[in-house]
Amino acid sequence: MTIRLCVFDAYGTLFDVDGAARSAASGPDGQLLAQVWPQLSASWRRKQLEYTWLRAAAGHHADFAQVTENALDWALEEAGLDDAGLRARLLELYQELPVFAEVPDSLRGLAARGMALAILSNGTPAMLASAVRACGLQDMFQAVLSVEDVGVFKPAGAVYDMVGARFGVAPQEVLFISSNGWDICAGAAYGFRTLWVNRAGAPVDRLFGRPDAVARDLRGVGAQLGDV
């Protein structure tokens, strides 16, 4: 079945989640972060994801903005950093995360081929709108879908249902692209064609689905459209 739509995860796939801590560490007041920002950023991201999974499993939803704040507070305490100004700066920077270097050209290349593009993300509508606007990509996507419309985080099936509901396509007509191994496995099990952007060179997750294709960055998307 022909692929009619490319659907992208946002955080870690399009947007560099290390960008906030890296930027804060390189700023004029970044001395506190200079040595610890990589670990802080890794802990922040890990707890952010863990909290989405636990909230989904327990049925205690809070939006991604709240989850992101809670995860940052945990990571700051782990790093021994108690600085309200730093916390506020990191959360501000998270609203305008940079995209990975290849993202703009990759998206433009897909659009030039006539491919419809969308985002499917845990992020809130406000967070996603801010991030997309900050990198100048607001005209690239036919839809930016947030889990807030269904009130549960990925990998719940209700999230992936949003794609068909919005675009009227079968799962097999969708190429789902994510850098999160667990997300791509869930998308594959749902029935999407899948491309895992494995930026870290990690092993495939042992879950209930497997990616159809793997690439190191988004430059692999165009090449895979005829193969997956």
Residues noted as catalytic: 9
Strand partners, 175: 6, 193
Amino acid type, 54: L
Peptide bond into 155 cis (omega under 30): yes
Q: What tokens appear for 196 in the block?
A: 């895992």
Kindly report the number of other CB atoms within 10 A of residue 201's CB atom: 7
Q: Which regions of the chain does DSSP assign to beta strands (E)?
A: 5-8, 116-121, 143-146, 174-178, 193-197, 213-215
Integer angstrom CA distances of residue 211 from 70, 131, 179, 182: 31, 27, 11, 10
